Amino acid sequence: METENNVKKVMLSGIQPSGDLHLGNYLGAVKNWAALAEEFDCFYFMADLHTLTVRQDPKEFRRRATAQLAQYIACGLDPQKNTLFLQSHVHEHAELGWILNCYTMFGELSRMTQFKDKSAKNAENINGGLFTYPALMAADILLYQADYVPVGEDQRQHCELTRDVAIRFNNLYGETFKVPEAYIPKVGARIMSLSNPTSKMSKSDPTGCVFLMDTPEEIARKFKRAVTDSDTERCVRFDPENKPGVSNLMNIYASVTGRSFAGIEAEFDGKGYGTFKPAVGDAVAETLRPIREEAARMIADKVYLKDVYTEGAQRASAVARRTLRKVYKKVGLVEKPF
């Protein structure tokens, strides 16, 4: 855990509370995060301020922020070993976000592919927050002097921009921010949609998406309906190019059972998809059962969750405050007298 003489490098990531966690999030990323706490000083937060760039139903949004936190803890992120908090509880994010807005260029923000994608999808609500989102993200990262930011490919451009802003600021005012690096984890499976195995599993395609909170019955149903391939051989063989559906199911099965592809091929030799699909469903349901139960228990225990995010925000704020104070001083703001 964090100490004054901490030599561990800092790892930080934000997660938007924009939907419940699914199997792709779990096997592709979160499952591997638990182990990172041994090597790094880890901060994870619900990026709720970022989520406000898209219109939310307030009640549902409030429920989701803590429900999602519970799901992350249930996936193995131990609140004793990681600093877990909600972004909006640490006001330094919004404050440094404003400052960094003034050091991030209109041209840079205009080149962000996520801004272009999101404004195409939300043509009726292309707000300023959507545009300046990367400056807030830079603040999230730079406040903690993070060394590494574990993110998916879609966030690489934002991480690059964060580096550019940090370097720009350091050049103007002297060393202030650690220049972070994107950390693309070594392990982690790329899980595809069950209904459309050439696209990534995503909550926007619910029939092909297995949520961590799905019941075993729902999981069984989704796997039974999983798209397999229309090739004539109908056998369980790993061949992502020609058999994307079956290969995705094999990938999932391998991830949850630890078996090799050769082992899986042998296990289902001569057995066809009708046996294979329910077997994958069962294995997934068994893997997710303790996670779902643990998350449900925490969601019901509001006091426990509140303790976790209170303590997390206090720890985070203690770090963030130091950086913000330094920045205010460097840019020439008058020191706050209280």
Is residue 137 at the binding interface for ligand TRP, with CB under 6 A as the rule?
Answer: yes
d(CA 207, CA 201): 10
- Residue 282: other Cβ atoms inside 10 A: 15
Length of the chain: 338
Candidates 13-21, 28-36, 298-306, 307-315 — which segment interacts with ligand TRP by CB under 6 A?
A: 13-21
- Residue 277: other Cβ atoms inside 10 A: 22
Active site residue 200: yes
Residue 252: closest CA among 215, 294, 208? 208
User: In the numeric block, which tokens belong to residue 59?
Assistant: 């009640």
- At closest approach, how far in Å is the CB of 317 from ligand TRP? 16
Strand partners, 11: 42, 148
| Number of residues forming the site for ligand TRP (CB under 6 A) | 13
Is residue 47 at the binding interface for ligand TRP, with CB under 6 A as the rule?
Answer: yes
Selected catalytic residue, list 8, 118, 178, 330: 118
Question: Do the Cβ atoms of 157 and 311 come closer than 8 Å?
Answer: no
CB-nearer residue toward ligand TRP: 14 or 76:
14
Candidates 8-16, 28-36, 184-192, 215-223 — which segment interacts with ligand TRP by CB under 6 A?
A: 8-16
- CA 56 to centroid of chain Cα atoms: 19
Is residue 90 at the binding interface for ligand TRP, with CB under 6 A as the rule?
Answer: no
CB-nearer residue toward ligand TRP: 45 or 253:
45
Helical residues (DSSP H) of the chain, grouped into ranges: 23-25, 31-39, 48-51, 58-74, 92-101, 106-110, 113-121, 128-142, 156-173, 216-224, 244-257, 261-267, 272-300, 302-331
Selected catalytic residue, list 9, 203, 326, 330: 203
d(CA 177, CA 141): 10
* Residue 163-202 contact track with ligand TRP, rule CB under 6 A, x = bound: ----------------------------------------
* Residue 213-242 contact track with ligand TRP, rule CB under 6 A, x = bound: ------------------------------
- At closest approach, how far in Å is the CB of 186 from ligand TRP? 18
CB-nearer residue toward ligand TRP: 98 or 275:
98
Q: Which residues of 121-145 are buried (b: 16+ CB within 10 A; e: fewer)?
A: eeeeeeeeebbbbbbbbbbbbbbbb
Catalytic residue positions, numbered: 118, 200, 203
Report the interface residues with ligand TRP, using CB under 6 A. 12-14, 16, 47, 50, 137, 140-141, 149, 151, 155, 158
